[in-house]
Amino acid sequence: MKVRASLKSLKEKPGSIVVRRRGKVYVINKKNPRWKGRQG
């Protein structure tokens, strides 16, 4: 999982979903799990 200041590049990948959990923003991608990320 990558920790980034901005998730813009990750959320534009095909199959990405932006999710908020416990006050943090995550990008999860079932098609290609290497594009998982967390903001901050």
- What is the value of pTM for the model shown? 0.81
Q: For position 32, what pLDDT does the model report?
A: 92
Across the strands, what pairs with 4?
39
∠ CA 26-17-24, nearest 5°, is 15
Instruction: Give the confidence band of 29 by pLDDT, cuts at 50, 70, 90.
Output: very high
Q: With pLDDT > 70 as the criterion, what percentage of the chain qualifies?
A: 100
Q: Where are the beta strands (DSSP E) in 1-40?
A: 2-4, 16-21, 24-29, 37-39
Q: For position 15, what pLDDT does the model report?
A: 94
Q: For position 23, what pLDDT does the model report?
A: 94
- Say yes or no to pLDDT of 40 above 90: no
Instruction: Over range 8-35, report the average pLDDT.
Output: 94
